[in-house]
Amino acid sequence: MNFRQKPVEDQAVVITGASSGIGLAAARQFVSRGARGLVLVARNEDALRRIADELNESGTRAIAVPADVSKREELEQVADAAIKTFGGFDTWVNDAAVAIYGTLEEVPIQDHRQLFEVNYWGVVNGSLIAAQHLRKRGGTIINLGSVLSERTMMLQTQYSASKHAVKGFTDGLRMELESEGAPVWVTLIKPSSIDTPYVEHARNYLGHGAAVPPPLYDPNLVAKAIVFSAEHQRRELTIGFGGWAIGAMGKVAPRLLDRAMEWTGYSSQTTDQPERAQMRDNLYRAREDGDVYSSLPHEPRRTSLLLEAQIHPVATAAILVGIGAAIAALLVPGFRNKPRRRRRLSPYQVVTRRIGNGHDKPSFGPGHISQRMGVSGRQQPRH
């Protein structure tokens, strides 16, 4: 696949789930980069229009197109609006998602199905519509997965399963597009725990307020990864070392990690902090939107070294090589000041030495016979 993504400044971008959290943070970052146009998609029409008005004041034209991503015909209308307004789109971001907290026995099957309609089928609908358009002009599809696509979190089993499905679909879509030579790049973004209204929007069967396990990361880090992916080809980007480490541990010691997550699963995902009731439970219908962050009293991490390493792989590799060399110099015996071996002379090896008269004369090593032997002529006087 040999094509170049346009600079963000020349792009029209479609973002689903744009009314809050990561989607809203991404919309604002695209505007800060001077994107040519934005198509904002979510179920909450009032919130979308307020956000579009806000972004239009910054110079980027943004339009609000309310739609339910689980309904393909509504997403087709989104694509039509993008074509009519901007002549098409260059990047499509599938961010819309819903969540459920509860045990498998507590959560009704219809709720489970509804979550998959949004989280999985919403990504499928958006991706296939985007791919059909981008085959002709080139561009990028960005799907929001999760570190939970690598490791299931108990009490969020339905959500974890949907993100496993999103990863599988995204990998298959990428391979099919690449095999046919389509000028379309597909990126999967995998956030760790992010401080968004996700927990307040979730349907909750736990009997306590919902929370996400620490450490929490700033939604703007995920938005940075999305904007970066719109103009740089990356297969996957993971935000947050904490979530990445859990996935890695699950591959190395899955049973041990099971036990650790069982021990902390309930306490790490519940809180007694009051939440905004008007946001609660958007599984079947839109609730209050418009905020990037949750109302929980946590200070999210605003940097992710793991993300920076993925964005700048060459510089990261050079730094790691330098660090490795420095550690070797400090720890490996004799790495820096290896003593030079002194050459031993044979007892009869001839060397050149200075003798007292200032002239170079051949002489013998240890055990030599008198220097006068073999020297012709009169000795020079010593001064």
The CA distances from residue 197 to 160, 276, 290, 295, 367, in Å, are 18, 9, 9, 7, 92
C-alpha–C-alpha distance, residues 312 and 187, integer Å: 16
DSSP bridge pairs for 100: 203
Q: Quick check: 10 and 91 in contact, CB under 8 A?
A: no
Which residues, including other chains, have CB under 8 Å from residue 187's CB and lie 6 or more apart?
A: 140, 141, 142, 143, 229, 233, 234, 235, 236, 237
> Judging by DSSP bridges, how do beta strands 100-101 and 203-204 pair with one another?
parallel
**Of the residues 159, 198, 217, 293, which is catalytic?**
159
Q: Quick check: 364 and 350 in contact, CB under 8 A?
A: yes
Q: Quick check: 62 and 31 in contact, CB under 8 A?
A: yes
C-alpha–C-alpha distance, residues 30 and 97, integer Å: 20
Which residues, including other chains, have CB under 8 Å from residue 30's CB and lie 6 or more apart?
A: 8, 13, 15, 38, 60, 227, 230
Amino acid letter for position 343 = R
- Give the side-chain half-sphere CA count within 13 A for 37: 15
**How many other CB atoms are found less than 10 A from the CB of residue 59?**
9
Is 205 a residue of the active site?
no
C-alpha–C-alpha distance, residues 160 and 101, integer Å: 11
The CA distances from residue 187 to 12, 33, 77, 78, 348, in Å, are 17, 20, 24, 21, 75
Q: Tell which residue, 25, 347, 365, 17, has the closest CA to residue 195.
A: 25
Q: Tell which residue, 193, 89, 174, has the closest CA to residue 123.
A: 174
List active site positions.
159
